[in-house]
Structure 1
């Protein structure tokens, strides 16, 4: 079956199979930043933006993308590079496997929440699993990134 969607601001018609998950569809289209981690909607590795809101693509059927705007890391290079520099400066990026889903969530949070508290940040990012860090460096990087956005 064919669906029409907009991926990273490009109108796209995609052939999908019944029951196909969005993570698989996106990867088949070369969007390798969208990763499969747990298949239980617990790790956040498959996070993408759908109409500007973060969703877990491993638990969303591709048919639900019909007519929607899907954004992956590949479509957010300027924002990604900016936030990644904060992660690097804080020593918060290690293996990088979780980074795409994590960064998608941070960018969505920055657009949705104004002046979030530390608890707001932790709550918003609760579904993003990182096995390498203790989250302390990531939290520092997020706070500094958000502060830089307030100044601008």
Structure 2
């Protein structure tokens, strides 16, 4: 195992209805959302519930270590484009993921600092040397559908927060 990487989520502000992309997020998004709002509406995107999502609009969408599992930029863009259709105008997207070059592996302990000084720890692995996951690739994809408002890169992890683009303005 590699090093221990720390993510401080004490100041992350998730409000309203939240769409959490991915099946395994280690309970982090739920923990953040629960701390912020008593009335929590957190939905998860899976292939079997996509028809339910089409009639919903979300205030925020989260990706917590999900995009690094996709083989290609095309697959990542397809998912982000689809998810953008579920996010309200001025809604936000939050992405935490690994920055990993092709030929490398990722096997590190992640320590997440949550609101109220709670801590979640887990080991995250991406041992596939063929897959790359880069902040530049994700920024390029995201910028087609969202205005990037915040970017952070530390060690081998990145964070992107962006606001949904009004497509009528984007087209003009």
What is the TM-score with the length of structure 2 in the denominator? 0.27
What is the TM-score with the length of structure 1 in the denominator? 0.29
Q: Which has the larger strand fraction?
A: 2
Q: Which has the larger helix fraction?
A: 1
